[in-house]
Amino acid sequence: MRRRTFLIAAVGALGTSVLAACTPQPRPTRSPSPTPSPTATTQPPASAVPQPASMLRSRWSVDPFALGAASFAAVGATSASRDDLAAAVDDRVFFAGEATSRDAPGTVSGAIDSGSRAADEVISASDGSERIGVIGAGVAGLTAARALLDAGYDVVVVEARDRVGGRIDARTGGSWPLTVDLGPTMIADGDEALHSAVVAAGGDVVSFGRADEVRTAAGTAVAVSGVGAAAVADAVEWSSQQPHDVPLSFAIGQSEAGALSTTPDEAGVSDADWLSHQLDSVVQPRTSATDERLSAWNGGATTPGDGVGGAIPLAGFGTLADELADGVDVLLRSVVTRVVTRNDKVSLRLRTGESLTVDRVIVTLPLGVLKSGSVVFEPELPLPKARAVSILGMGDSDRVWLRFDEPFWSTDATVWSTIAAGSPVGLWVNLLPDTGYPVLVGTVAAAEAARLAAIDDDATVLAELLASLEPFLDEAKRADAEGTGTATPTPTPSDAQSG
């Protein structure tokens, strides 16, 4: 057993402050010269990639009812932190949501399971004659509400948005030939329970045929190297021998991973580039966190996968949310500002000045909202729960959907990534082979997600996205563009839409 197993319980407030003082180590420098990232006032040159017919993107970090996409294990956080977050307070205030899931945080399945758990806890602590409030109409809240209704309880769900689903945000209609889900987009390999639930809710599901392709900035396809994954594993192993948890970036800088060669090979790619590729295209899309914030001990940096699943729900996960909400009393556009527990009752105070009294409540607020303090609890949350809210991280991850009139690419690969500095997109999923539609779905994660979400101008963001796709431009189309000296004009804001 590793030494850290014995030390986790001993890391308290003092240990956490020591960890925060660790200076993150920079990644090894990539061999290509980085291109400065465009800002809201600086657009990249016009791209040879054609302008899409439609664009939709999420911006979870600036969404006031999410303030982030998914939770992650920041430095000092453990599975026990999630248990503390999930723990009920005096059998009156219960907690659910993906951040409370020990086994599957950051996933639809984790949220569903947490809702079932919270409902079971309420049932064990009460009887079926009580009125139960649920804050949040995401799948965690709706799952809990559905279970309690089936058990004979009077249930009311209070939702701040004008729709159900929470971070499931399925869009239909317009020029889109399939549903655009701006939250989770795929079902993980082997998740039969979620697959069955989506199908039972009336959603069509197609298998996703995964085929990866990595290209350089010049458009050269290169064989995937295991150097990056091995380097991350070395850093995690190094961290396991240390007395305190540290950021993954610090572990990389102190371990053998920090000494990777920056000398490029014939394709212009170095070992250090492969490490950056592993972080940008695998670790960050899966965890929604930068290596500067991710726990080296418990952040899951070496967990297999990048978040791309094995099946595509063509109607998104919206059908599942709608099915769960059917028959449930949901108060939309109702923002809770205070949760007050007194005399065996819980009062939910709304922004409108109104209040709602229930016997018990299940809180499914996203971790980002709990961190913001926009919802006040009276009495204050117990110290272990407050510490869990503080120490767990809320990560950033956004989806961008681009629909083209015809493909500008010739590859049949379905998962694209680039080993090039300056690309804001960790990976692209090509839906053409499995759906027949020339649609690309990009995952923008961690710092890049936060940066792009802060840009209101969709045209600026779209220009960056198109530039990141240039390595996959069909050679004939590239030659035509270079021969005529033309490129796609900078799009106007009306050409794109934000989620």
Q: How many CB atoms lie within 10 A of CB 489?
A: 10
Alpha carbons 151 and 130: distance in angstroms, whole number: 11
Give the start-end residues of each E strand in 161-210.
170-171, 180-181, 205-207
> Cβ distance 410 to 474 under 8 Å?
yes
> Cβ distance 121 to 89 under 8 Å?
no
Alpha carbons 290 and 153: distance in angstroms, whole number: 43
To which H or E segment does residue 498 belong?
A: strand 497-498
Is the pLDDT at 132 greater than 60? The verdict is: yes
Which backbone phi and psi does 194 adopt, to 5 degrees? -70, -40
Q: For residue 35, what pLDDT band results from cuts at 50, 70 and 90?
A: very low
Which backbone phi and psi does 497 adopt, to 5 degrees? -135, 145
Q: Mean of the pLDDT values across residues 32-61? A: 71
Is the pLDDT at 13 greater than 80? The verdict is: no
Its CATH class, for the domain covering 70-168+318-394, is alpha beta
Is the pLDDT at 485 greater than 60? The verdict is: no
Is the pLDDT at 174 greater than 50? The verdict is: yes
pLDDT at 40: 41
Task: Report the interhelical angle of 271-278 vs 227-240 (nearest 10°).
Answer: 70
pLDDT at 46: 73
pLDDT at 44: 54
Q: Single out the residue of 208, 201, 207 nearest to residue 168, CA to CA.
A: 201
pLDDT at 400: 98
Sign of CA dihedral 192, 145, 70, 379: negative
pLDDT digits (tens, 9 = 90+) for 290-349: 999 999 999 999 999 999 999 999 999 999 999 999 999 999 999 999 999 999 999 999
pLDDT at 29: 53
Per the prediction, the chain carries an average pLDDT of 89
Which backbone phi and psi does 350 adopt, to 5 degrees? -100, 160
Could you give the C-alpha distances from 188 to 9, 192, 208, 304, in angstroms and in order? 32, 9, 10, 12
Q: For residue 9, what pLDDT band results from cuts at 50, 70 and 90?
A: very low
Q: For residue 420, what pLDDT band results from cuts at 50, 70 and 90?
A: confident
The rounded radius of gyration (Å) of the Cα atoms in the chain is 23
Q: Mean of the pLDDT values across residues 416-438? A: 94
Is the pLDDT at 215 greater than 90? The verdict is: yes
Alpha carbons 207 and 310: distance in angstroms, whole number: 6
- The residue written with tokens 């660790």 in the block is 22
End-to-end CA distance of the chain: 46
Query: What does DSSP say about strands 131-135 and 360-363: parallel, antiparallel, or unpaired?
Result: parallel
pLDDT digits (tens, 9 = 90+) for 447-472: 999 999 999 999 999 999 999 999 99
- The residue written with tokens 């399939």 in the block is 178
Question: Percentage of the chain with pLDDT > 70?
Answer: 87
Is the pLDDT at 39 greater than 60? The verdict is: no
pLDDT at 47: 80
Q: For residue 421, what pLDDT band results from cuts at 50, 70 and 90?
A: confident
pLDDT at 477: 74
Q: Single out the residue of 407, 401, 423, 339 nearest to residue 376, CA to CA.
A: 339
pLDDT digits (tens, 9 = 90+) for 240-279: 999 999 999 999 999 999 899 999 999 999 999 999 999 9
pLDDT at 14: 31
Is the pLDDT at 1 greater than 80? The verdict is: no
Q: Mean of the pLDDT values across residues 415-439? A: 94
Alpha carbons 463 and 450: distance in angstroms, whole number: 17
Is the pLDDT at 287 greater than 90? The verdict is: yes
DSSP string, 330-356: EETT--EEEEEEETTEEEEEETTS-EE
Query: What does DSSP say about strands 336-342 and 376-378: parallel, antiparallel, or unpaired?
Result: parallel
